[in-house]
């Protein structure tokens, strides 16, 4: 089965494949480890995990790198506030991040490089740019990338140089960057300042520390080579971070950098942007403290198309709970002796049996909303075809588990009782399909399914991002 995905660089749906025929070389911009990651960050990391799992489920081996940003303005400033060394401080948040990833069933990357431990590679890359006239030392002791010397600048974001006034965060203009030739040039190396304290490294341009953008160029090329297959980060990273990564890398090597890019859109909470001041910046711990499980959160984070904004609500977690219970119940019927999904072993791909349409949706631009809709439509069909034949059950189970591996669902949580009316399977499947149709903004299909539910005597009520079912008479 081919795996197609829209490429931010070309705007086209393109095939995902390893250029070397061996393993798909895949880089994700990792967390800045200065506090707990929030559920928005985890939307991006979970979609990236869904991407990797889908590739592996259709038989593509991967080599996945996700860095740790453990040196930048935020980590330095916050470590000083906490009275800890940069290492002590970032180690503590790295451990927390790794524990959260594990709870959310994110596959561990093959490499998780720390930016601090790769400063020599970053200095070497900056030196190549200086040698080629693409970078220069400013009067303030910092080294800057000369955007005017890289004509391809803007090819990812579609922004031309003249349009580079300032992004929403004001990131182009930094008060402490007074040594630049041009306002749009960006820092590769930041000269040491007193407020940086002991956080300084020697370089050919004097003491200082690397800029954020160069970290990802240097680490990704170190582990994956100068040209590699796929690069991803949240949509806010398209500009300037990824644009700058392309300029630094292609400027230095003269070769294409990453071939295929994808960017999950941001998570919003109850219709609003997440922010500390609104008090809606939730962590995994906050979700668990309200009685929900990491798997329920994972389900919410993968449902919906990754290029559509996802609106997180508490109702959506309730809907996730009921969907997961339905899947758990199905699996228990199929295989009463094993309580958790078994990850596939070996690299052969025996196919997905009746679940093939589910995988086809995932492999078609990572359409998880449609894939979940198809999955719930197939459940009653699978149940009615269940026989006592152990071979038939084993095939059904193997395909089901492969699909669950792609979604990253283990279905091993102890059952939580929902206080709700007994809803027949067939009705639940229709309601779930309608919910997924809504997620993919297929309003016509959602309306048709609402009609079908009504014809069976059920009313579906939408409550923000969740739904409830009641008897038409009741
Ligand atoms: P950071 O730790 O801030 O460097 O971000 C880690 C990842 O989370 C990056 O890929 C960001 O683009 C992504 N991200 C940040 N905020 C959100 C959000 N609200 N929704 C989805 N992804 C986000
Ligand atoms: Zn990055």
> What pLDDT score does 171 carry?
47
Kind and range of the H or E element at 42? helix 39-57
Q: Is 221 exposed, middle or buried (0-12, 13-18, 19+ CB in 10 A)?
A: buried
Phi, psi of 234 (to 5 degrees): -65, 160
Least confidently predicted of 43-57, 170-184, 224-238, 279-293 = 170-184
45: CA distance to ligand 2 center in Å? 13
| HEC letters along 232-249 | ECCHHHHHHHHHHHHHHH
Q: Is 325 exposed, middle or buried (0-12, 13-18, 19+ CB in 10 A)?
A: middle
- Which-ligand-closest: CA of 45? 1
For residue 224, give both structure tokens.
Answer: 């994956």
pLDDT higher than threshold 90 for residue 367: yes
> Which residue from 106, 216, 236 has its CB within 8 A of the most atoms of ligand 1, so it is best to mutate?
236
Decide: 48 in ligand 1 pocket, CB within 6 A. Answer: no
Counting residues of the chain whose pLDDT is more than 90, the rounded percentage is: 73
> Which residue from 66, 90, 234, 310 has its CB within 8 A of the most atoms of ligand 1, so it is best to mutate?
234
Decide: 44 in ligand 1 pocket, CB within 6 A. Answer: yes
Kind and range of the H or E element at 155? none
Ligand 1 atom at minimal distance to the Cα of residue 274: 19
Q: Give the C-alpha separation, 357 to 360, whole Å.
A: 5
User: Under the phi-then-psi rule, with left for phi > 0, alpha for psi from -120 to 50, and beta for the rest, what region is 13?
Assistant: beta
299 closest CA partner among 320, 273, 327: 320
User: Which residues, other chains included, contact 76 with Cβ-Cβ below 8 Å and sequence gap of 6+?
Assistant: 86, 196, 197, 199, 209
Residue 403 and residue 352 in contact, taking contact as beta carbons nearer than 8 Å: yes
Residue 375 and residue 436 in contact, taking contact as beta carbons nearer than 8 Å: no
Least confidently predicted of 93-102, 171-180, 281-290, 297-306 = 171-180
For residue 85, give both structure tokens.
Answer: 């060394």
Decide: 274 in ligand 1 pocket, CB within 6 A. Answer: yes
Which residue, by CA, sits nearest to atom 8 of ligand 1?
41
- Which-ligand-closest: CA of 67? 2
> Which residue from 30, 35, 39, 40 has its CB within 8 A of the most atoms of ligand 1, so it is best to mutate?
40
Residue 282 and residue 344 in contact, taking contact as beta carbons nearer than 8 Å: no
For residue 68, give both structure tokens.
Answer: 């740790």
6: CA distance to ligand 2 center in Å? 20
435: CA distance to ligand 2 center in Å? 34
Which residues make beta-bridge pairs with 28? Answer: 66, 232
Q: Give the C-alpha separation, 51 to 15, whole Å.
A: 13
Residue 380 and residue 451 in contact, taking contact as beta carbons nearer than 8 Å: no
Tens digit of each residue's pLDDT (9 = 90 or more) over 427-474? 888 888 888 888 888 888 888 888 888 777 778 888 766 787 776 653
- What confidence category does residue 414 fall into, taking pLDDT thresholds of 50, 70 and 90? low
For the chain, what's the residue count? 474
> What pLDDT score does 17 carry?
98
pLDDT higher than threshold 60 for residue 111: yes
Cα-trace Rg, the chain: 24
Ligand 1 atom at minimal distance to the Cα of residue 266: 20
Residue 439 and residue 304 in contact, taking contact as beta carbons nearer than 8 Å: yes
> What pLDDT score does 55 carry?
97
Residue 226 and residue 259 in contact, taking contact as beta carbons nearer than 8 Å: no
Rounding to the nearest 10 degrees, give the CA dihedral for residues 349, 351, 355, 361.
70
Counting residues of the chain whose pLDDT is more than 70, the rounded percentage is: 92
For residue 26, give both structure tokens.
Answer: 């895949």
Q: Give the C-alpha separation, 41 to 234, whole Å.
A: 8
Decide: 267 in ligand 1 pocket, CB within 6 A. Answer: yes
Decide: 323 in ligand 1 pocket, CB within 6 A. Answer: no
461: CA distance to ligand 2 center in Å? 42
267: CA distance to ligand 1 center in Å? 9
**What average pLDDT does range 110-133 have in this prediction?**
98
Residue 400 and residue 48 in contact, taking contact as beta carbons nearer than 8 Å: no
For residue 133, give both structure tokens.
Answer: 């006239």
Tens digit of each residue's pLDDT (9 = 90 or more) over 263-290? 999 999 988 888 777 888 999 999 999 9
Decide: 361 in ligand 1 pocket, CB within 6 A. Answer: no
215: CA distance to ligand 2 center in Å? 7
| Angle, helix 243-253 to helix 119-131, in steps of 10 degrees | 70
Decide: 370 in ligand 1 pocket, CB within 6 A. Answer: no
Q: Give the C-alpha separation, 242 to 247, whole Å.
A: 9
pLDDT higher than threshold 70 for residue 349: no
Which residue, by CA, sits nearest to atom 9 of ligand 1?
234
- What confidence category does residue 167 fall into, taking pLDDT thresholds of 50, 70 and 90? very low
- What confidence category does residue 192 fall into, taking pLDDT thresholds of 50, 70 and 90? very high
Tens digit of each residue's pLDDT (9 = 90 or more) over 9-26? 999 999 999 999 999 999
Which residue, by CA, sits nearest to atom 5 of ligand 1?
31
pLDDT higher than threshold 50 for residue 173: no
Which residue, by CA, sits nearest to atom 11 of ligand 1?
234
- Which-ligand-closest: CA of 47? 1
* pTM, 2 dp: 0.87
234: CA distance to ligand 1 center in Å? 5
DSSP 242-296: IHHHHHHHHHHHSS--EEEEE-PPPEEETTB---TTTT---BHHHHHHTT--HHH
């Amino acid at each position: 089965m081919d795996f197609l995905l829209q490429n931010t660089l070309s705007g086209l749906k393109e095939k995902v494949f390893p250029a070397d025929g061996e393993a798909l070389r895949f880089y994700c911009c990792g967390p800045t480890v200065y506090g707990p990651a929030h559920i928005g960050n985890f939307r991006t990391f979970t979609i990236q995990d869904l991407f990797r799992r889908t590739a592996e489920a259709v038989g593509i081996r991967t080599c996945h790198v996700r860095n740790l940003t453990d040196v930048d303005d935020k980590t330095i400033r916050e470590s000083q506030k906490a009275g800890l060394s940069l290492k002590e401080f970032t180690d503590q948040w790295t451990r927390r991040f790794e524990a959260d990833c594990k709870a959310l069933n994110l596959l561990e990357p093959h490499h998780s490089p720390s930016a601090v431990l790769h400063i020599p590679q970053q200095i070497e890359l900056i030196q190549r740019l200086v040698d080629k006239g693409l970078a220069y030392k400013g009067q303030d002791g910092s080294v800057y990338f000369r955007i005017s010397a890289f004509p391809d600048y803007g090819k990812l974001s579609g922004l031309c140089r003249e349009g580079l006034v300032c992004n929403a965060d004001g990131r182009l203009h930094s008060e402490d960057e007074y040594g630049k030739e041009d306002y749009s040039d960006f820092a590769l190396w930041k000269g040491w300042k007193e407020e940086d304290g002991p956080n300084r490294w020697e370089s050919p341009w004097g003491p200082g520390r690397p800029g954020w953008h160069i970290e990802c160029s240097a680490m990704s090329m170190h582990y994956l080579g100068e040209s590699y297959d796929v690069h991803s980060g949240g949509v806010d990273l398209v500009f300037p971070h990824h644009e700058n990564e392309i300029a630094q890398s292609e400027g230095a090597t003269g070769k294409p950098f990453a071939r295929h890019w994808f960017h999950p859109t941001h998570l919003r909470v109850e219709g609003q942007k997440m922010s500390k001041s609104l008090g809606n910046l939730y962590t995994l711990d906050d979700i668990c403290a309200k009685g929900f499980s990491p798997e329920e959160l994972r389900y919410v984070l993968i449902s919906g198309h990754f290029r559509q904004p996802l609106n997180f609500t508490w109702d959506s977690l309730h809907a996730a709970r009921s969907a997961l219970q339905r899947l758990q119940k199905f699996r228990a019927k199929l295989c009463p002796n094993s309580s958790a999904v078994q990850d596939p072993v070996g690299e052969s791909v025996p196919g997905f049996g009746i679940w093939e349409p589910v995988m086809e949706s995932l492999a078609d631009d990572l359409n998880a909303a449609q894939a979940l809709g198809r999955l719930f439509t197939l459940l009653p069909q699978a149940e009615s075809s269940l026989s006592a034949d152990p071979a038939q059950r084993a095939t059904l189970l193997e395909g089901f588990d492969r699909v669950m591996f792609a979604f990253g669902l283990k279905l091993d949580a102890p059952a939580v009782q929902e206080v709700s009316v007994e809803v027949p399977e067939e009705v639940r499947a229709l309601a779930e399909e309608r919910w997924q149709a809504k997620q993919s903004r297929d309003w016509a299909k959602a309306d048709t399914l609402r009609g079908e539910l009504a014809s069976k005597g059920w009313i579906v009520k939408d409550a923000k991002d969740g739904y409830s079912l009641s008897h038409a008479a009741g």
